[in-house]
Amino acid sequence: MSLDQEKLQSVLEKLMISDGKHSEYNAMAVEKENWIVKELSKFWGATFNGLSVKGTYLDRAKWKTCDEFDLHLKLKLPFPITPRKDDKGFVFLYAGIYKHEIVVDNYVNRKRLNDWFLSKLQSFKSYNNNFQYTANENGRTHTLKYIQSNIDISFDLVPAFQFTWDQLPLDLDLPPISAEVGSDMLWLAVPHTKRGSSGDERTFMVCSPHYEREATKDLKNFNNVLRLMKGVRDAHVDDFPQLSSYMLKTVLLHQLGRVDWNSDLATLFLEMWSCLVDHLNSGHMDFFLSKGNNIFDDMQCREFHECRISAERLLADFKNAASYNSLWLHRTFNV
């Protein structure tokens, strides 16, 4: 005996944002995002190429409140950048003979890019004191928090370069999507160290949030299971240090084409939580578009061990959930 479908569905309904609340936060976020676009344009000029939403809000898997937004800040240099093949989901960005402070030996340099990006955001923050700026520990994400009266919204920014699908120099083994949509698909190169080449500052990881959305949009319970897994993580936040929402999503992405997403919610949730435990026990889970590069490398050893132990403990509880009452289930998801 394990999780009860009806009880789990009631938990999901409590976790989900109502359409009205979603629209309210969406309107607020769009207003602030438009303001950020306008102001950032002043600092970057032609180099600023817009913002692209990523993460759980793009997937509509955000739960409770929409007060945190993950955004790629797209950059455009005043000369052509050509993605060149590295391997395993990584590319180099070739600048040729052109000179720029983020270019070293004809290639865009991650450290130079981060320093330049940091200086721009610090200037932006000083321009308006309603914003607080924080550089995250991983060095790849920069947070702008907008605070005014009762409004508190965080924008996590990652610098990125955008390309069309036919510019991708890698042959990636991906689940199929509509050919019509695929021809218009875009991808991003984001700064990231490649395993085994930490001294090479030229490497950028390939990602495509919109491909992920397209590949999962018609899968009935994909986002529902993701919401539930995030609900468990957030209800036990001290037990899951550094276990990001994208790590949870990656568990599900690796199961595309392997499971029936029309199955009942309880079965799928238990199966996906078991997959998370399997990945944690093995100590390895590939980035979705970068095989051979472990997403868990972003975690500290102690935090990783805590996550593994906690995930195993909860898996045992879920398998015996029929022995518990509804109060236990709702406390487990903090609803």
Kindly tell me if the per-residue pLDDT of 40 is higher than 60.
yes
- The strand pair at 204-207 and 107-108 is best described as unpaired
Q: Do 49 and 219 form a contact (C-beta atoms < 8 A)?
A: no
pLDDT in tens, 244-268: 999 999 999 999 999 999 998 989 9
**Alpha-carbon gap, residue 288 to 261, rounded angstroms:** 18
Task: Report helix, strand or coil for 284.
Answer: coil
Kindly tell me if the per-residue pLDDT of 173 is higher than 90.
no
**Which two structure tokens, joined as six digits, stand for 99?**
């000179």
SS (H, E, C) 163-205: EEHHHCCCCCCCCCCCHHHHCCCEEEEEECCCCCCCCCCCCEE
Closest CA to 315 of 232, 255, 221: 232
Instruction: Give the pLDDT mean for 300-328.
Output: 85
**Alpha-carbon gap, residue 334 to 250, rounded angstroms:** 23
Residue partners of 190: CB distance under 8 A and separation at least 6 = 72, 140, 158, 159, 160, 204, 205, 207
pTM: 0.85
* Distance from the first to the final alpha carbon of the chain: 23
Instruction: Give the pLDDT mean for 225-232.
Output: 92
pLDDT score, position 50: 80
pLDDT score, position 121: 81
CATH number of 5-332: 3.30.460.90
Phi-psi region of 203 (alpha: psi -120 to 50; beta: other; left: phi over 0): beta
Phi-psi region of 306 (alpha: psi -120 to 50; beta: other; left: phi over 0): alpha
